Amino acid sequence: MKPGIRTTILIALILVMGGAGAVYAKSPTADLTETCDPVLQKGLQRSLMDLNLTRAAEAKSLSIVLVDITDTASPRMAYVNPNEMMYAASLPKIAILLGAFEKISTGQMALDAETREKLTQMIRNSSNQAATEMLNRVGKGYLANLLQSPRYRLYDPQKNGGLWVGKEYSKSGAWKRDPLHHLSHGATAFEVARFYYLLQTGQLVSPEGSRQMKAILAKSAIAHKFVKGLKSVHPDSRIYRKSGTWRQYHADSAIIEHDGRRYIAVALAKSRLGGKWLSDLIVAMDRLVCDTPPPMH
């Protein structure tokens, strides 16, 4: 059998398997690599200067990843402190969403009306009660293994961590803090950006699972940070998003689409001014993507 035919058959088998049987297989298609686009990178650094955020970035109190995925086959990336692990509050609820759909794909959980509503409340309204219930249904150990699995590597020790959910969203103690930084709810901007890239390219669970998860990430009920900033410049934007807030920690992440352009934006901040930083940053990042000529086909 020719190598090309053998590869095609292998990819098809992995996509058909989709669920738990494929969780520990390596991702067969495109992935983000940590390479920056010089034009986009220069623009991001200039934006930080204009917003007086250079010092925050140098102090590692701010982590950003911006990826133009108007052409998903040729993503263009810019970043600041992409692998800085930070407390991310409710943002890691996207990991619980992934765990739920993995179990749904194998028939271990049903996507009935009640489950869909709980997942929707967890994401759009950031309900802690719904998140705790869904985390326990998915299983804390199952989710930790899934995030570290070779297929996803959304928590990767070689990249200083990533998405982690080691505690219920309740007053109970931590179940298991992340191995490197001992955070209960943590993230790096790069691994969150990878989550959205895999989602957009149909590689989370399955193409249909990715489509349904993206739909749940739409229509956020919390109009702050990225949503607040975009409302002032592109109120017609389609935003697929999860944010997080706890004390001085502010996080936001999204796929944003408008006027034929699509990009991933992730920002994590440690500052009481973090909410405003993120509202201002998304306007600057949107301008960077939209002012660059679209990819040629």
42-81 pLDDT, tens digit per residue, is 999 999 999 999 999 999 999 999 999 999 999 999 999 9
What region does 110 belong to: left with phi over 0, alpha with psi -120 to 50, or beta? Answer: beta
Check if the beta carbon of residue 98 is closer than 8 Å to that of residue 146.
yes
Nearest to 101 by CA among 93, 109, 89, 113: 109
> Phi then psi for 98, rounded to 5 degrees?
-60, -45
Euclidean distance between CA atoms 284 and 80, whole angstroms: 14
> Phi then psi for 48, rounded to 5 degrees?
-60, -40
Euclidean distance between CA atoms 274 and 271, whole angstroms: 5
From residue 150, give the alpha-carbon distance in Å to each of 76, 185, 237.
24, 21, 34
pLDDT of residue 285: 98
Low-confidence ranges of the chain (pLDDT < 50): 1-28
Euclidean distance between CA atoms 196 and 201, whole angstroms: 9
pTM of the predicted model as reported, rounded to 2 decimal places: 0.90
pLDDT of residue 297: 52
Q: Which tokens go with 90?
A: 């409710």
Instruction: Spell out a b/e string for 145-160, using b for 16 or more CB atoms within 10 Å of the CB, else e.
Output: ebbbbebbbbbbeebe
Euclidean distance between CA atoms 23 and 8, whole angstroms: 19
Q: Which tokens go with 140?
A: 């804390």
* Domains of the chain, CATH where assigned: 37-291 (3.40.710.10)
* C-alpha 285: how far from chain center: 16
Q: At what angle do helices 38-50 and 274-291 cross, to 10 degrees?
A: 140
> Phi then psi for 134, rounded to 5 degrees?
-70, -35
Q: At what angle do helices 113-124 and 128-138 cross, to 10 degrees?
A: 130
Q: Which tokens go with 279?
A: 């509202």
Sequence length of the chain is 297
Check if the beta carbon of residue 193 is closer than 8 Å to that of residue 264.
yes
With a CB cutoff of 8 Å and minimum separation 6, the contacts of 94 are 123, 163, 192, 195, 217, 242, 253
Q: Could you give the angle at the alpha carbon of 105 between the alpha carbons of 104 and 111, nearest 5°? A: 35
pLDDT of residue 292: 74
Amino acid identity of residue 18, one-letter, is G
